[in-house]
Structure 1
Amino acid sequence: MKKYFLLLAISLCIESCSENKETSFKIGIISDCQYCDCDVKWDRYYKKAPQRLQEAIAILNKDSLTYTIHLGDFIDKNFESLDRILPLWGKLESPSYHVLGNHDFEVKDSLKEEVIKRLNLKKRYYSFVEKDWRFIVLDGNDLSFHGALTIAKKEQTDSLFNLLKDKELPYLKKWNGALSSNQLSWVKGELDFAVKNNQKVGFYCHFPIFPIDQHNIWNREQFLSLIKPYNNVKIFFNGHNHAGAYQIENNVHYLTFKGMVDTENTSAFAKVQFDKDTIIIEGYHREPSRKLVIK
């Protein structure tokens, strides 16, 4: 009998370890590298961004990461800033992704499409699957005064901004933006597909949803109404607010990662371990470490 229970315990342990191995993976996250050859402003040390990115990549490369993602504002301004910072990004040993930030469009109008190409983005918003997760990368500049690149999108931007301007929303700022109706429809399709395939959902965006402050996406209420019926939505990771923030609502973890470019002598980035029921964030420098429980 003892032998039976011992074999049962070993079997359950092997099964559990195998299950964890099948669902576990680790990634790297950086936000607001925001390089330009510019003087210090708002405690942002733009010229120090390359050495900070280089340091982060050296640390990230010590792990076997499934991928690394930058959460927007890779540059602060000027198209030529990419020539300095992209070769460093290219030293990552893991696959990599970019989220578009508002400052990524602080270039000449004629070069805005080129920024998207240089960041190796075939689409401005997209998704990818890793283990039992579907990651949805949003473009919060889809409707915006800096990132709307077609006449139709510019008209939609004006319409939405004018519709909301009497509501005294703290985040209705011209440096923020919104998700177009086309993007929201696409998101719904992605969520339905995730339900069908029994996948958890994580969102990446430059702009936050929670907490409410001057950094949020304009049509956050519309987005929240869309995701509310989907219990498989677990995380929303973003940048933009360089101070960082965290809030949990309806079992969704809304986490703003701190800006790498800020302060004279520190940096910010993280390694993130996804396990079956938890997400462990190993923060570096100013980025705090956290444990997020997935329900």
Structure 2
Amino acid sequence: MSSSASLLFRFGIIADPQYAAIAPHIAMDRYYANSLAKVAAAIEVFNGEELSFVMTLGDVIDRSFSSFDDILPVYEKLRHEALFLLGNHDFSVSSGHLSDVAARLGMSSPYYSFLRHGWRFIVLDGNEVSIFAPPEGHHHRALAAEMLAELQAKGARNAHRWNAALSDEQFAWLGDEIAKAAEAGEKVIVMNHYPVHPPGEHGMWDSERIVALLASSSNVVAYLNGHDHVGNYGMAGSCHFVNFKGVVDTETQNAFAIVEVHADRIEIRGFGREDSRTLSI
């Protein structure tokens, strides 16, 4: 690990707590109720460090809007800023609550960007075109059904109901944010719930256009995501794609990380099941 002299800033990462007050799914090795204690343990570690923020990469809950009432108070013990993005399970709520999810997580918008120490973070809503997140009757639901049917007809590996896509509007916004960052001399880290690279069964339906954009943008350094609980890593162009492991998996082992940003590299310090990595810039 590096000397701290070149350290610009650091932040925390949690992926897929998928909390619910339900029995474990032993076959899938998912212990939903145990995530309360695991997130609390991660927060204790984070509170011992100087962090700019802590991002949870989606799937705060597994199901039921009332699950937020149990897990969000755990984050109140965090002495740093808690940021969220939307995962597919966060929409496993009654149809009447679909439009309340982002606000319940304290998000003013389903996708957004922010600056830290001259770096731009772009936070995507990977659920925008899906068969579960848009309100009933929304045109994004119909579009999602069409996209899914097309992918299923092609036998695509990611042709699953629990994946999704960006709208063309959000994709254009992503391109604009990257371009603005380039003009301002800012490096970019993109965050989303879903993986886009390497290709796999958990990938976004429109992964190819997202990877093409990020790989061709020299100021985009990394793309960080959850969703695939076993974790993964890939590279396209000069962009690192890091899939963090899910908190909900295993009865006792945790999974979270502290990401240290340097001018020439990013150091990921993994805890529990999470891998440590060095990503060169």
Q: Does 1:45 align with 2:31?
A: yes
Q: Distance in 2 between matches of 1:197 and 1:25?
A: 19
Structure 1 segment 1-295 matched on structure 2, within 5 A: 20=6, 24-41=8-25, 42-149=28-135, 151-294=138-281
Q: Distance in 2 between matches of 1:239 and 1:79?
A: 21
Structure 2 segments unaligned to the other structure (5+ residues)? none
1:221-245 CA-to-partner distances (Å, cap 9, x unmatched) read 1212333431111101000011011
> Cα offset for 1:144?
0.5
Q: Is the 8 A contact 1:270 1:282 kept in 2?
A: yes
Structure 1 length-normalised TM: 0.90
Corresponding residue SS for 2:222: strand
Q: Which has the larger radius of gyration?
A: 1
Corresponding residue SS for 2:179: helix
Corresponding residue SS for 2:235: strand
Q: Distance in 2 between matches of 1:227 and 1:58?
A: 34
Q: Is the 8 A contact 1:148 1:157 kept in 2?
A: no
Q: Is the 8 A contact 2:215 2:239 kept in 1?
A: no
Q: Which amino acid aligns with 1:110?
A: G
> Cα offset for 1:287?
0.5
Q: Distance in 2 between matches of 1:182 and 1:156?
A: 14
Instruction: Give the aligned partner of residue 13 of structure 1.
Output: none
Corresponding residue SS for 2:16: coil
Name the stretch that deviates more: 130-139 or 60-69.
130-139
Corresponding residue SS for 2:72: helix
Corresponding residue SS for 2:22: coil
Q: Distance in 1 between matches of 2:244 and 2:211?
A: 20
Q: Distance in 2 between matches of 1:105 and 1:273?
A: 31
Corresponding residue SS for 2:20: coil
Structure 2 length-normalised TM: 0.94
> Cα offset for 1:158?
2.3
Supply the RMSD in Å over aligned alpha carbons: 1.3
Structure 1 segments unaligned to the other structure (5+ residues)? 1-16
> Cα offset for 1:250?
1.2
> Cα offset for 1:38?
1.0
Q: Distance in 2 between matches of 1:244 and 1:193?
A: 31
Q: Is the 8 A contact 2:211 2:236 kept in 1?
A: no
Q: Distance in 2 between matches of 1:199 and 1:82?
A: 35
Corresponding residue SS for 2:149: helix
Q: Distance in 2 between matches of 1:132 and 1:159?
A: 40
Q: Which amino acid aligns with 2:13?
A: I
